[in-house]
Structure 1
Amino acid sequence: MATSTAAAGRDAEGPVSHRARKITLLLLTATYFFSYMDRQILSILLEAIKADLQLDDAQLGYLSGIAFALFYATLGIPIASLADRKSRKNIISIALALWSGMTALCGLAQNFTQLLLARIGVGIGEAGSSPPSHSMIADLYPANERAGALAIYSLGITLGAFAGTFFGGSITHYFDWRTAFLVVGLPGIVLAILVRLFAVEPPRGMSDAVMAASDDTPSILDGARALMKNRAAVHLVAGVTITSLIGYGLTLWSPAYLIRNFGLNELDVAISYAPVVAVAGVVGTVGGGKLADYLATRFGLYAQSNMIAILKLGAFPFLLLFYYLTDVYLAVAAYFVALLLQTCYLGPTFALIQSLAPLRMRSVWAAISLFIINLIGLGIGPTLVGVISVEYQAAFAMNDAESLRWSLFTLALATPWACFHYWRAAIWLKKDGAAGED
């Protein structure tokens, strides 16, 4: 196994220059932006699609959740295994072109089945993005800078959600939901070319004390066994999965909630709600990453997990208020505070998982984590909201506005469960000196 110092990976004259590292992180963040924009745009279009295609909340939940997540999560693992052996930037570029084209095709759907198949296509394409991106960033940045770098990357979620809601709502208001899918989907193909031309493929293990060997790549089963033996990693994956279950469910349905319960239209949501979410998300995500890097340097990696547990617990009452208050201004203000605190988890969680993973298992660990997160969080979260809403209508004779309100409130109640797992992860990280193994 060839060796190299961590400093070589950080030096501008080393394997990857400082400028190239920044360009690559920017391109990966832009890719994640398009990924989440193409995923999130459906949320602002749900009411228009419901009316046009005559769907119920359960069908909307399937489109938002399991139809996308089943393929997105499942295919992520074999693609990540390939990314541990082949060019990661090429895989990302091909995946980006595929899901962008499928997003545009959503605008041509004439019924539920056609839209379902197009959404499955988006999920298949997006499966090739996050695991190799996590692996590349982990190789570009050393452990004490990784949370900040992955927090920057995670801005793709916040900014993508804003763009999907803003452009989707605005275009739908002035044109229709089909045009919105076309306008948002097609530019991603251009970005795919830029990623292929200008992103750099870092040497594996470049930012760690030891460079990874070029052969003897572990299997997916080896990666799963190694992850399951690591108690800190297990609790981190559990915490982020429950967080994603709540987050995806609430995020995908919140625009519909505002439209139904407060009488807003798509343009209202685009110009008022979307910017509030974007500001809170950017400040929370970047601030959380920077604070996490400071805490890791000052106290050790375990402090990052404790930080997430504390801030998410602080966000909990404000999250409940969003779905309880009947004044739209107070409700959105409460949601702003909740997002400001709870979005801290993104960069630190994935940085901790990458720091715990063996060098040759980084893409596989990312894929296994994302498989669980997305199958349960993205797959079940939005679907569960729709199903519960329909059940509340039947059981309590609620209208669709009130049933959606209490469905979202019910899901938000799971937040302390996620906090528990982050607290337990911190205990094992501290006990084992960030190794987390038995």
Structure 2
Amino acid sequence: MASKAADFAETVMPGVSPRARKITLALLTITYFFSYMDRQILSILIEDIKADLVLTDTQIGIVAGLAFAVFYATLGIPVAWLADRKNRRNIISIALALWSGATALCGFANNFVHLLLARIGVGIGEAGSSPPSHSMIADLYGPKKRAGALAIYSLGVTLGAAMGTILGGTIAHFYGWRMAFFVIGLPGILLAIAVRLFAVEPPRGMSDAAQTVADDSSPSLWDGFRALWQNRAARHLVAGVTITSMIGYALTSWGPAYYIRSFGFDKLEIALYIAPILAVAGVAGTVGGGKLADRLAERHGLHSQSMMIAVGKTAALPFLFALYLLQDAWWAMASYFIALLFQSCYLGPTFALIQGLAPLKMRAVWAAITLLVINLIGLGAGPTAIGILSDVYRGAFGEESLRYALLTGAAFTPWAVWHYWRAGKALKEMERAAA
């Protein structure tokens, strides 16, 4: 009976038309795109801002990582609690307008404190986006389609980061770094209106009909923390994606500065050549990973999705090391292109697995807890630690200090692989027990 109900949820999904579902997923993906574009733009402007405001790598690391992450991650928890009870679409719309305005305010910064406060504003706004979005997508798409849908949503990471680099670098080259913040930030306010008008709020549990009747409780925030911690597979998934994010955020935040310092590229070359090429690899890896994950789950069970990520990250590791060890710029970029093809597979399947493991009325809270850990450690510690290491290594490596700081971060990859492998083992045991 449960199987029939789940199949019904996969195909019919009463309450939301297929067209409305697609429009909502598109708007949520574009919102996520704006989120990453607004946070990534800082990376291509680092060298200009550093020179203009006379900042150190450590200060830049704090602005790019810790200051943003602390508010983004911690406020995500109460926002998620609210999203499990109130209209998620409206929360996302208000948050989008807030962080877009704060991004534009970065262009008015005249010193470290001004820039710090504006970036805190961006973090506060963006806290209201991802947890409600994950919850809505989990309600719009059933378990057999969820990894693919969340992989599409996750394109916002790759495309948003690329577009932040492309637009930020191009605008800053011709009009200065302040204008780049204005042009990137203000259109998000118009998008916030579109989300409010055209996205739909799906019924909770719509895509998991078999569970809806049984789950009529009103869990507390503490219940969400405790339930996630008690789930062994979820614990390892959160640990794996956190370490992966720490490495990834370090590179996306410092990548353009690394290309400029170690390979001699300028902002316009990075914006027009490097970022688009790398975006292709990221999109291919993200979409391909999501589709492959759905197929593997259909044939072998959900545990195969976590194993797929472990294999992909292992295959990517030597090419990621090559990015930092090769002296030739274009060979290094080619290696990174290959690394991205393999390592970008993790986002959609990871969040889909976490949403699938979460009780229905804890989905937004589980997403927020995941994002809390990811961003406090990954986004908060990653870029900040690289900035500190770069300053520490400067005595030994001079202008190449950033290269070896990033290489140090990449060396944590096997730790993430181990957690994904352990998550796969735990999921397989759960599947056997349920059979």
Tell me which amino acid in the other structure corresponds to 1:218: P
Q: Does 1:18 align with 2:18?
A: yes
Tell me which amino acid in the other structure corresponds to 2:137: I
Q: Does 1:237 align with 2:231?
A: no
Q: Who is 1:131 aligned against?
A: 131
Q: Does 1:407 align with 2:405?
A: yes
Would you say the 8 A contact 1:44–1:165 is kept in 2?
yes
Q: Who is 1:151 aligned against?
A: 151
Q: Does 1:59 align with 2:59?
A: yes
Higher relative helix content:
2
The farther-off stretch of 21-30 and 257-266 is: 257-266
Q: Does 1:288 align with 2:289?
A: yes
In structure 2, relative to structure 1, the CA distance for the partners of 1:50 and 1:307 (3 Å cut) is: same
The SS at the match of 2:212 is coil
Q: How does 1:202-217 map onto structure 2 within 5 Å?
A: 202-208=202-208, 209-211=210-212, 216-217=217-218
The SS at the match of 1:247 is helix
C-alpha separation between the residues in 2 aligned to 1:212 and 1:342? 39
Deviation at 1:210, TM superposition (A): 2.8
Percentage of matched positions with identical amino acids: 67
C-alpha separation between the residues in 1 aligned to 2:290 and 2:178? 37
Q: Does 1:350 align with 2:351?
A: yes
Match of 1:421 among 396, 419, 428: 419
The SS at the match of 1:326 is coil
Q: How does 1:318-397 map onto structure 2 within 5 Å?
A: 318-394=319-395, 396=396
Cα RMSD (Å): 1.4
Would you say the 8 A contact 1:11–1:18 is kept in 2?
no
The SS at the match of 2:46 is helix
Deviation at 1:213, TM superposition (A): 7.8
Would you say the 8 A contact 1:5–1:210 is kept in 2?
no
Q: Who is 1:172 aligned against?
A: 172
C-alpha separation between the residues in 1 aligned to 2:382 and 2:305? 26
In structure 2, relative to structure 1, the CA distance for the partners of 1:212 and 1:137 (3 Å cut) is: farther
Would you say the 8 A contact 2:50–2:56 is kept in 1?
yes
Would you say the 8 A contact 1:9–1:15 is kept in 2?
no
C-alpha separation between the residues in 2 aligned to 1:351 and 1:257? 33
Give TM-score scaled by structure 1 length. Answer: 0.96
C-alpha separation between the residues in 2 aligned to 1:145 and 1:39? 29
Would you say the 8 A contact 2:44–2:168 is kept in 1?
yes
Tell me which amino acid in the other structure corresponds to 1:402: E
Would you say the 8 A contact 1:84–1:217 is kept in 2?
no
Would you say the 8 A contact 1:37–1:163 is kept in 2?
yes
Q: Who is 1:199 aligned against?
A: 199
Deviation at 1:6, TM superposition (A): 3.7
Deviation at 1:170, TM superposition (A): 0.2
Unaligned ranges ≥5, structure 2 = none
Would you say the 8 A contact 1:385–1:411 is kept in 2?
yes
Give TM-score scaled by structure 2 length. Answer: 0.97
In structure 2, relative to structure 1, the CA distance for the partners of 1:13 and 1:202 (3 Å cut) is: closer
Would you say the 8 A contact 2:168–2:177 is kept in 1?
yes
Would you say the 8 A contact 1:58–1:383 is kept in 2?
yes
